[in-house]
């Protein structure tokens, strides 16, 4: 009988859910404890079923420790102190770790800034040395060029001589007086045959056109104008304003209308005469301009001859000191080489400094 009672008691203990007897202790950070059965948990908190049957959700931020058994107040307090000590030690370790990391980051930042400052200073010194070297080089080149120019001017003055035109004509004044007497003669004497021909032909042609064509045209226009004016004074419409010609009002009106037309003809003749006179005076100005240009050219070709400064050859092209003008044709490259017919022409004006 006793054995049967023990067996029934054992079966009853197994049949009753363990949750009836299980009690968990939740130790909170605020110093209190909550006892009950932990029925669930998630990222936000812990769900506890209390002894009275209610359910309470405890945020994880408030939980210090969860013990899955029933603890007395002394045991809970002891665990609380240990956990608070651990938590404080953990927080202290994290604080020291953060301070060490911050200190390391600050040291690395200071090291980086110091390295940047060092590199910037080195670059500044390098640039300063480079600029100084360039300035010294430029100063040396300028000094060499100035010295070369000065030496060249001295050499140029020492070795100047009469031009080929002066050698041919005897003197500069000889070229000028010949050109003054007969435009083109001084150029011909100095060896400038083409210039002499152009000046002489231009001067003679302009004189011929001025005197043989424009002057005659002006004289004819002036004579025609004078004749019309004289005719108007002798037999013009206004000369008939007398009783023997005017009998009625219509005769008077007819005379005035005829006088208007006659005055228009005289005005046109006057304009034609003035235009012819302007063309003739312009031709005289052209003659004077050609004559003056002839004298200036004669003076120019008689200037002293200076030695030419040295030149260099680049790709077969001779380059001299000073201004130089060059024209050439562009010949496009065809299928079988350069095409024989040029396609374009261009000019090049340059100023070269040789050193």
- Together in a domain, 178 and 220: yes
Mean pLDDT of 44-64: 80
Mean pLDDT across 249-270:
82
Residues 276 and 254 in one domain: yes
**Does residue 59 sit in the same domain as residue 183?**
no
CA distance 295 to 182: 10
Among 259, 274, 301, give the residue marking a domain's end. 301
Q: Which residue has the higher pLDDT, 272 or 69?
A: 272
Distance CA 290, CA 219 (A): 24
How much is the pLDDT for 203? 92
Please say whether the beta carbons of 187 and 301 come within 8 A: yes
Residue 155 forms part of a structural domain: no
Q: What is the reported pLDDT for 352?
A: 66
Return the CATH number at 52.
2.30.30.100
DSSP string, 139-191: HHHHHHHHHHHHHHHHHHHHT-B--HHHHHHSSHHHHHHHHHHSTTHHHHHTT
**Exposed, middle or buried, 27 (CB in 10 Å: 0-12/13-18/19+)?**
buried
CA-wise closest residue to 343 among 335, 352, 351, 334: 334
Asked if residue 45 is part of any domain, the answer here is yes
Query: CA triplet 270, 272, 274: central angle to 5 degrees?
Result: 70
Q: Give the C-alpha distances (Å, rounded to integers) separating 127 from 116, 122, 124, 134, 336.
A: 16, 9, 5, 10, 54
- pLDDT of 12: 41
The C-alpha atoms of residue 288 and residue 292 are separated, in whole angstroms, by 6
Share of the chain above pLDDT 70, in %: 81
Do residues 275 and 195 share a domain? yes
Whether the CB-CB separation of 52 and 36 falls below 8 Å is answered with: no
Percentage of residues in the chain with pLDDT exceeding 90?
16
Same domain, 292 and 330: no
Q: Is the pLDDT of residue 291 over 60?
A: yes
pLDDT at 31: 74
d(CA 287, CA 298): 17
Buried b (16+ CB within 10 A) or exposed e, 111-145: eeeeeeeeeeeeeeeeeeeeeeeeeeeeeeeeeee
pLDDT 10s digits, 151-197: 778 877 887 778 888 888 888 898 899 999 999 998 898 888 999 99
Q: Is the pLDDT of residue 266 over 50?
A: yes
The region, left, alpha or beta by phi > 0 then psi within -120 to 50, assigned to residue 28 is beta
CA count, 13 A, side-chain hemisphere, 156: 12
Residue 90: inside a domain, yes or no? no
Q: How confident is the model at residue 286 (pLDDT cuts 50, 70, 90)?
A: very high
Positive or negative torsion for Cα 10, 14, 17, 23: positive
Q: Is the pLDDT of residue 5 over 60?
A: no
From 37, 71, 105, give the residue that closes a domain. Answer: 71
165 vs 328, more confident: 165
Residue 285 and residue 203 in one domain: yes
Instruction: Decide if 329 is inside a domain.
Output: yes
Looking at the structure, tell me whether residues 184 and 279 fall in a common domain.
yes
Same domain, 292 and 333: no
Query: For residue 149, which of 354, 352, 312, 305 has the smallest C-alpha distance?
Result: 354
Give the pLDDT confidence score for residue 322 in this predicted structure.
63
- DSSP-assigned letter for residue 31: S
Structure tokens at 222: 């002036």
Domain assignment present for 225: yes
More confident residue, 44 or 322: 44
Please tell me the distance from the alpha carbon of residue 11 to that of residue 13, in angstroms, as a whole number. Answer: 5
Instruction: Give 43's Cβ-side CA count (13 Å radius).
Output: 0
- Strand 312-314 relative to strand 317-319: parallel, antiparallel, unpaired? antiparallel
Q: Classify residue 326: in a domain, yes or no.
A: yes
pLDDT of residue 140: 87
Q: Is residue 174 part of a domain?
A: yes
What is the DSSP track for 46-85? EEEE-TTS-EEEEEGGGEEEEESS---HHHHHHHHHHHHH
Q: End of a domain among 279, 301, 323?
A: 301
Q: Which stretch of 37-41, 73-77, 109-113, 340-344 has the lowest confidence by average pLDDT?
A: 340-344
Least confident of 96-110, 113-127, 152-166: 152-166
In a domain, 175, yes or no: yes
pLDDT higher than 80, residue 314: no
Chain segment 204-254, per-residue pLDDT in tens: 999 999 998 998 998 998 888 888 888 777 777 777 777 777 777 787 788
Domain range spanning residue 57? 2-71
- The mean of the pLDDT values for the chain is 79
Do 265 and 337 have their domain in common? Answer: no
Q: Could you tell me if 325 and 297 lie in one domain?
A: no
8 Å CB contact between 35 and 24: yes
pLDDT given at position 62: 76
| Tally of structural domains, the chain | 3
200 and 248, same domain (yes or no): yes
């Amino acid at each position: 009988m006793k054995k049967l009672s023990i067996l029934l008691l054992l079966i009853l203990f197994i049949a009753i859910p363990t949750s009836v007897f299980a009690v968990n202790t939740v130790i909170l950070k605020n110093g209190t404890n909550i006892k009950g059965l932990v029925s669930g948990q998630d990222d936000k908190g812990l769900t506890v079923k209390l002894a009275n049957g209610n359910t309470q959700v405890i945020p994880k931020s408030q939980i210090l420790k969860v013990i899955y058994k029933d603890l007395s107040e002394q045991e809970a307090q002891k665990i609380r102190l240990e956990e608070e000590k651990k938590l404080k030690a953990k927080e202290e370790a994290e604080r020291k770790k953060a301070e060490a990391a911050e200190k390391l980051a600050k040291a690395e930042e200071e090291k980086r800034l110091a390295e940047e400052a060092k590199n910037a200073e080195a670059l500044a010194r390098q640039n300063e040395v480079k600029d100084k070297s360039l300035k010294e080089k430029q100063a040396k080149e300028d000094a060499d060029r100035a010295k070369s120019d000065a030496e060249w001017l001295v050499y140029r003055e020492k070795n100047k001589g009469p031009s080929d035109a002066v050698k041919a004509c005897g003197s500069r004044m000889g070229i000028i007086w010949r050109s003054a007497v007969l435009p083109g003669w001084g150029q011909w004497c100095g060896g400038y045959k083409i210039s002499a021909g152009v000046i002489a032909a231009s001067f003679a042609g302009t004189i011929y056109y001025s005197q043989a064509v424009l002057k005659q045209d002006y004289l004819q226009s002036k004579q025609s104008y004078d004749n019309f004016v004289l005719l108007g004074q002798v037999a013009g419409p206004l000369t008939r304003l007398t009783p023997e010609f005017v009998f009625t009002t219509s005769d008077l009106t007819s005379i005035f209308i005829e006088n208007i037309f006659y005055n228009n003809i005289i005005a046109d003749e006057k304009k034609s005469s003035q235009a012819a006179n302007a063309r003739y005076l312009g031709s005289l100005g052209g003659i004077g301009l050609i004559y003056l240009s002839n004298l200036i050219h004669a003076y120019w070709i008689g200037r002293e001859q200076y030695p030419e400064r040295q030149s260099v050859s680049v790709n077969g092209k001779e380059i001299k000191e000073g201004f130089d003008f060059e024209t050439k044709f562009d010949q496009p490259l065809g299928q079988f080489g350069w095409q024989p017919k040029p396609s374009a022409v261009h000019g090049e004006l340059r100023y070269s400094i040789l050193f």
